[in-house]
Structure 1
Amino acid sequence: MNAITQDRSDTLAPFGTRLDGVTDPVRKAATGALHRSGLPDRRVEEWRYTSLRFLAETPLAAPADVYDVAQIQAQLEELGLTDGPLADLPRLVFVNGRYAEAFSVLPAELDVSFFAKTQTFGPLSCPDRDPLTALNTALAADGAQVRVPAGKKGGDVLLVSLGQTDASVSFHPRHSMTLEDGADLTLISIQAGRGRYLHNPVLEVSVGAEANLRHITLQTEGKEAACLATTYAQVAERGTYNSFVLGLGGVLSRQEIHARLAAPFATVHVNGAQMLGGRQIGDVTSVITHAAPDCISRQTVRNVLDGHARGVFQGKVYVDRVAQKTDGYQMNQALLLSENAEIDAKPELEIYADDVKCSHGATVGALDDDQLFYLRSRGVPEAEARQILIHAFLDEALGLIEDDVARTVCTQMLARSFPVAGENA
């Protein structure tokens, strides 16, 4: 082992001996790739704006199999899962990465299995290329595997991940979502918790021909937690994958989406919003691959950053030679409420076809003084006036959520998490 490899391997020290003794061929290959690459640092282009220093500061043990039932129930109540528009929806609840049957309500008409029993890895992920996915592959213990039969309308389903720990731990759920031809589903993923932990989920999504998946993620992890989530989506002919991420929690978060439009007339939307304060770091990274003609992709991400918070947007649209008549668009907009806040934006287009319509852009600004003066001159207190302008800035992004229930929940959670914007320091 040379010095460089040794240095990279040392980045895995927080996981101790958890990576040793792996015998399953898939896990063994992922572990080997992970030892060769190590966890990424800022020398890796895709991670130059987002430091994983959080992972190096404390050993991350495997979570215990037991948890406080009363605390989990309290978390579900705080999230509005026991009363309100989400209370009657089927839900799959995971606590510290393990399925919690006592808090779950299985969707009656969908096929549901669990990784803990099947130990089945899907074909879409890339552990040899993506170190966090390799880490998940090596350490995954459980996860939901949902299949929507052809032509079935699956309604709304909740996928809830809760972290609860008094020690520093990491958990690595392995989820998959398969929509057969003509199927339809709204998946609302909720990520929340208490304590210091790493939540490192991988989700593989397969959308069949003329199928439609609306996937809304509400990330409101604990203040000491890190969430490094990776999604791989593949969309067949005339299928649609419509994703939205609302990032509110965690000291460190990254939502990374790899979407592939694999057949003609497929559509992908990868939208989102982040509202961060203090010293939070929130990263939205996407790679959208147009691998077939006549496909459409859209991406709009808005950031509101206060205190010393830092937002990252990396969006890449790759257009293959065969992907003629591609229509791709991405836009990142940031509102900085503090002189110490920072946004790093890197939109990219890589185009090998010649009959395409692609564009990207980024804007950064502060609250409009004239608008603020207008509201204050009509008797609106400054804090409330700022809140009105901030939520107006985010409303356009939230309006991209097609599911009414999910949009309402995201709006309510945003208002509850930041009742008076601009005061996070």
Structure 2
Amino acid sequence: MAERLEKAAELALKPNETWTIVETALAENTVVSVGENAHLTHYRLNNGGNNALTVKLGKNASYDLVTVHLGSGKLSVFADLAGEGSFCRSDAVYALNGEERAEIKTDFRHNADKTTSRQLVKGAVGGCAKAVFEGGILIPYDKKAIDGAQQHRALLLSKTSEVKAVPKLEIYADDVKCAHGSAIGTLNKDQLFYLQTRGIGEAQARRILTAAFLNEVLDTIEEVELRDEWERLIGLKNDD
């Protein structure tokens, strides 16, 4: 069972602990520490507003984060992979419409050997909304057996929506496997046409394809009721 919290300023896992945390209201600043061999699964809903999350991982610790960001605001995730063998996954979905403005920033530091990070950020932006994604991975000198990956993908749902992506890798070591990329586009016209030939209206077809695009992240949420509720909220946002 997941433990539900609101506006948590600090979370600390002791060595060997395993937690699942759900946050549906966020403090402006949150600090998370995950002790040696501990594991935290963290689901966060940012329904507008600003939040800065700082995470520090101990030896062989693991941290799985899924964030849903709706509406205007700034969201940042700073992860310090300080312990050898630590693992951090940070996946996110953002959905904007109207005149909304959002900034999403990630900064992952591989400060120990044999550390692994994964980032997948997907967005859907309609109306006259604008989003900026800035993602970073830093690998200092002399670190060994580092594995980092970052992907950002976004859909423009209108001609007046905008998304800017600034992925960044800073690699100062040799024993590294790293990749990053960003893709920004529109809904596939052939897929839209196919659904419409099956009797589905254009608006519903657009909703189906947008949901399928974002669900790559949402499907990783193991709490079924939570996943269904957040899918519903995102659907309402994309219907605006």
TM superposition score category, shorter chain reference: over 0.9
Letter in 2 for 1:217: R
Q: What TM-score do you get using the length of structure 2 for normalisation?
A: 0.95
Instruction: Determine if the alignment matches structure 1 residue 270 to structure 2 residue 120.
Output: no
Structure with max Cα Rg = 1
Counterpart residue identity of residue 190, structure 1: T
> Judging changes above 3 Å, is the alpha-carbon distance between structure 1 residues 181 and 403 closer, same or farther for their aligned structure 2 residues?
farther
| Cα displacement string for residues 303-350 of structure 1 (whole angstroms, at most 9, x for unaligned residues) | 100011111111100012242110000000010011111111011110
What amino acid does structure 2 have at the position aligned with 1:230? A
1:347 to 150, 167, 173: 167
RMSD: 1.6
Q: Could you tell me which residue of structure 2 aligns to residue 299 of structure 1?
A: 119
Change (3 A) 1:212 1:409: farther
Q: Percent identity?
A: 32
2:1 pairs with 1:159: no
User: Partners in 2 of 1:185 and 1:179 — Cα distance?
Assistant: 8
Equivalent residue letter for 1:247:
H
Q: Aligned AA for 1:354?
A: D
Do structure 1's residue 412 and structure 2's residue 232 form an aligned pair? yes
Q: Does 1:231 align with 2:53?
A: yes
Q: What stretches of structure 2 of length at least 5 have no aligned partner?
A: none
Alignment of 1:254-265 (within 5 A): 254-265=74-85
* CA distance 1:324–1:246, change in 2 (3 Å): same
Instruction: Specify which structure has the higher proportion of helix.
Output: 1
Tell me the number of residue pairs that the alignment of Structure 1 and Structure 2 aligns: 240
Structure 1: gaps spanning 5 or more residues: 1-154, 162-173, 192-198, 222-226
Q: Show the counterpart of 2:215.
A: 395
The one-character-per-residue Cα deviations of 1:136-193 (angstroms, maximum 9, x if unpaired) are xxxxxxxxxxxxxxxxxxx4111235xxxxxxxxxxxx710000011111111113xx
Q: Distance in 2 between matches of 1:158 and 1:368?
A: 38
Deviation at 1:279, TM superposition (A): 0.9
TM-superposed deviation, 1:247: 1.1
Q: In structure 2, do the counterparts of structure 1 residues 405 and 239 end up closer, same or farther at CA, with 3 Å as the change threshold?
A: farther
Task: Return closer, same or farther for 1:409/1:288 CA change in 2, 3 Å cut-off.
Answer: same
Q: Among residues 29, 41, 45, which one is paired with 1:214 in the alignment?
A: 41
Code of the residue aligned with 1:245 in structure 2: it is T
Corresponding residue of 1:337: 157
- The alignment status of 1:310 with 2:137, answered yes or no, reads no
2: distance between equivalents of 1:344 and 1:220? 21
Q: TM-score, normalised by structure 1?
A: 0.54
| Closer/same/farther in 2, CA of residues 405 and 213 from structure 1, 3 Å limit | farther
Moved over 3 A (4+): 402-406
Partners of 2:69 and 2:31 in 1: how far apart?
20
